[in-house]
Amino acid sequence: MEACLLSSSSSYSLGNTKSLSRSCSRTYPHIIFVSGIRRSSNRWTRLSVTSSFRPTAVENSTFDVVVVGAGIIGLTVARRFLMTTNLSVAVVDAGVPCSGATGAGQGYIWMTHKTPGSETWDLCNRSKKLWEDLVDELRFHGVDPSQELGWKKTGSLLIGRTPEESEMLASRVKLLSEADLRAEFLSAGSLAAEEPSLQVGRDWSAAFVPDDCQIDAQLAVDFIEKGNRSSGLQGRYKEFFHEPVISLVRSDYGGEVVGVQTSKNILYCEQALVVATGAWSGSLIQDLFKGLNISFSVPVIPRKGYLVILENFQKMQLNHGIMEFGYVDHQIISRSSNLSASGVSECEKLSISMTATTDATGNLLLGSSRQFIGFDNGMDESIVNCILDRAQQFFPALRDLPRQDMLRSRKIRIGFRPYMHDGKPIIGPVPGLPKMILAAGHEGGGLTMALGTAEMVVDMVLNNVPKVDPTPYSLQGRCCS
Ligand SMILES: Cc1cc2nc3c(=O)[nH]c(=O)nc-3n(C[C@H](O)[C@H](O)[C@H](O)COP(=O)(O)OP(=O)(O)OC[C@H]3O[C@@H](n4cnc5c(N)ncnc54)[C@H](O)[C@@H]3O)c2cc1C
Q: Are residues 95 and 222 in the same domain?
A: yes
The helix/strand/coil state of 242 is coil
Atom 19 (ligand 1): residue with closest C-alpha? 446
Does any domain span residue 354?
Answer: yes
State the distance from the centre of ligand 1 to the C-alpha of 162, rounded, in angstroms: 34
Asked if residue 325 and residue 361 are part of one domain, the reply reads yes
Structural domain ending residue among the three candidates 388, 419, 450: 419
Same domain, 313 and 409: yes
Probe target for ligand 1 pocket from 19, 30, 102, with the most ligand atoms within 8 Å of CB: 102
8 Cβ inside 6 Å of ligand 1: no
Residues 42 and 91 in one domain: yes
Q: What single letter denotes the amino acid at residue 479?
A: C
**Is the C-beta atom of 277 inside 6 A of ligand 1?**
yes
CB atoms under 10 Å from CB of 315, counted, come to 15
**Same domain, residue pair 205 and 310:** yes
Listed residues 373, 394, 419: the one ending a domain:
419
* Residue with CA at minimum distance from ligand 1 atom 20: 446
| Residues 227, 362 share a domain | no
Q: Are residues 246 and 290 in the same domain?
A: yes
CA 417–ligand 1 middle distance (angstroms): 6
Confidence at residue 57, expressed as pLDDT on a 0 to 100 scale: 47
Range of the domain at 68: 4-104+218-299+423-473
> Is the shortest distance between the CB of 383 and ligand 1 below 6 Å?
no
Is residue 426 within 8 A of residue 414, CB to CB? The reply is no
The amino acid at residue 144 is: D
Query: What CATH code is carried by the domain that includes residue 252?
Result: 3.50.50.60
CATH code for position 363:
3.30.9.10
**Per-residue model confidence (pLDDT) at position 397:** 94
Residue 243 lies in a domain: yes
Please give the distance, rounded to the nearest whole angstrom, from the Cα atom of residue 331 to the centre of ligand 1: 24
CA-to-CA dists, residue 183 to 170, 180, 319, 328, angstroms: 10, 9, 16, 22
Ligand 1 midpoint to CA 99 (Å):
8
Q: What is the DSSP letter of 109?
A: E
Q: Is 445 in the pocket of ligand 1 (CB under 6 A)?
A: yes
CA distances from 241 to 11, 127, 280, 377 (A): 17, 27, 16, 21
| Ligand 1 neighbourhood includes 268 CB (under 6 angstroms) | no
31 within ligand 1 shell (Cβ under 6 A): no
Is the Cβ atom of 426 under 6 angstroms away from ligand 1? no
d(CA 217, CA 124): 17
Pair (320, 361) in one structural domain? yes
**Domain for residue 172, yes or no?**
yes
Residues 320 and 203 grouped into a single domain = yes
Query: Does any ligand 1 atom lie closer than 6 A to the CB of residue 420?
Result: no
Q: Is the CB of 358 under 6 A from ligand 1?
A: no
Same domain, 199 and 160: yes
Residue 140 lies in a domain: no
For ligand 1, say whether the CB of 267 is within 6 Å of any of its atoms. Answer: no
Query: How many whole angstroms from 15 Cα to the centroid of ligand 1?
Result: 11
pTM of the model: 0.88
Q: Is residue 330 part of a domain?
A: yes
Q: Whose CA is nearest to atom 25 of ligand 1?
A: 71
Whether residue 209 is found in the same domain as residue 337: yes
User: Which of 399, 419, 439 is the last residue before a domain boundary?
Assistant: 419
Residues 97 and 157 in one domain: no
SS3 content of the chain, % helix, strand, coil (to 5): 30, 30, 40
Site to substitute for ligand 1 among 280, 371, 414, most atoms within 8 A of C-beta: 280
pLDDT by residue for the chain (481 residues), tens only, comes to 222 222 222 222 333 333 322 222 222 233 443 333 343 333 323 333 334 444 444 455 999 999 999 999 999 999 999 999 999 999 999 999 999 999 999 999 999 999 999 999 999 999 999 999 999 999 999 999 999 999 999 999 999 999 999 999 999 999 999 999 999 999 999 999 999 999 999 999 999 999 999 999 999 999 999 999 999 888 899 999 999 999 999 988 778 999 999 999 999 999 999 999 999 999 999 999 988 878 899 999 999 999 999 998 888 889 999 999 964 344 333 333 344 444 444 445 688 999 999 998 899 999 989 999 999 999 999 999 999 999 999 999 999 888 888 888 899 999 999 999 999 999 999 998 989 999 999 999 999 999 999 999 999 999 999 999 999 999 999 998 7
Residue 327 lies in a domain: yes
Q: Is the CB of 448 under 6 A from ligand 1?
A: yes
Between CA 99 and CA 414 the distance in angstroms is: 10
Residue 115 lies in a domain: no
| Residue 371 CB–ligand 1 contact under 6 Å | no
Q: What dihedral angle (degrees, nearest 10) is formed by the CA atoms of 22, 28, 33, 35?
A: -70
- Ligand 1: which of 93, 265, 448 to mutate, most ligand atoms within 8 Å of CB? 93
Strands 213-214 and 237-240, by their bridges, are unpaired
Domain-located, residue 127: no
pLDDT attached to residue 330: 44
Q: What are phi and psi of 406, to 5 degrees?
A: -65, -45
Is the distance from the beta carbon of residue 70 to the nearest atom of ligand 1 less than 6 Å? yes
pLDDT value of residue 3: 29
The set of residues, in sequence order, having a beta carbon less than 8 Å from that of 309 and lying 6+ positions away, is 17, 363, 364, 365, 366, 410, 411, 412, 413
Number of independent structural domains in the chain:
2
Query: How much is the pLDDT for 60?
Result: 59
Q: Where are the beta strands (DSSP E) in 35-150?
A: 36-39, 44-47, 60-68, 89-92, 108-109
Q: What is the DSSP string of 331-365?
A: EES-----B-TTS-BGGGSEEEEEEEEE-TTS-EE
Find the 413 Cα to ligand 1 centroid distance in Å. 12
Q: Are 455 and 449 in contact (CB under 8 A)?
A: no
